[in-house]
Amino acid sequence: DTAVSQTPKYLVTQMGNDKSIKCEQNLGHDTMYWYKQDSKKFLKIMFSYNNKELIINETVPNRFSPKSPDKAHLNLHINSLELGDSAVYFCASSQRGPGYNEQFFGPGTRLTVL
Amino acid sequence: GESVGLHLPTLSVQEGDNSIINCAYSNSASDYFIWYKQESGKGPQFIIDIRSNMDKRQGQRVTVLLNKTVKHLSLQIAATQPGDSAVYFCAENRIQGAQKLVFGQGTRLTINP
């Protein structure tokens, strides 16, 4: 069974469009994350949610809006897509703190903005 | 800040040899360090972690060393296998009220047959 799943795996779209990426985890975790990995493989956190509550927002443009309908899902909606949004987006989940708990990553969604 | 403009460091070793991947971290207040492995087309996968109150931790074929004095972390992989070929990331956790992983640049390890 897939622990953290994302759809779609690939997403190609035009500048200015609005798109969504979905993430689901079946690990029973309380915390979910979105990361962005650029073409240089640099991986940076964007958001984290703890039981549907926004915990971390790393100065991401407000064109990016995460939505957590329940603690097993964290979707990422992106408005007015720009060329610089092209990247691989990873969802992850972990048990809630305190302290550090291992984060499990999904397979990624490769977004290409033309 | 981001490592924009830098090429991904690479390391090539012969199959069966040992490899050492190095990482410098930035925040002396980080209290937890993790190594992740990312294979092509996949998400990062946990390998091993170490708390800041330790200097060394061993797993199966992997060892992590932590030098807090110079803020340096290393991952040693013993008897490398073709399946070890991947990009390896170190990450530091800055708790600050929430789990927040900060990833290093990554090193591409290639195992030559």
What pLDDT, in 10s, does the model give residues B4-30?
334 679 999 999 999 999 999 888 888
Do A4 and A103 contact (CB within 8 A), yes or no? Answer: no
Q: Measured between CA atoms, how close is A106 to chain B, in angstroms?
A: 6
Query: B interface toward A at CB cutoff 8 Å?
Result: 2-8, 31-32, 34, 38, 41-46, 49, 87, 89, 93, 95, 98-103, 105-106
Which of residues B2 and B47 earns the better pLDDT score? B47
Contacts of B10 in chain A (CB under 8 A): none
pLDDT-derived band at A93, boundaries 50, 70, 90 = very high
The token pair at A27 is 């690990």
Out of A52-66, B7-21, B49-63, which region has the weakest mean confidence (pLDDT)? A52-66
The arithmetic mean of pLDDT across residues B54-59, rounded, is 96
In sequence order, the 6+-apart residues with CB closer than 8 A to the CB of B46 are A102, A103, A104, B34, B35, B36
A-B C-beta contacts closer than 8 Å: 73
Q: Do the beta carbons of residue B59 and residue B108 sit within 8 Å?
A: no
Which residue in the set B41, B98, B106 is minimally distant from A41, CB to CB? B106
Show residues of chain A in contact with B100, CB under 8 Å.
45, 48, 56
Residues B29-44: tens digit of each pLDDT: 888 899 999 999 999 9
Can you point out the beta strands (E) in B4-113?
10-14, 19-24, 32-38, 45-51, 56-58, 62-67, 72-77, 86-93, 101-103, 107-112
User: Which whole-number Å values give the CA distances from B63 to B15, B19, B59, B60, B105, in the listed order?
Assistant: 18, 11, 6, 8, 20
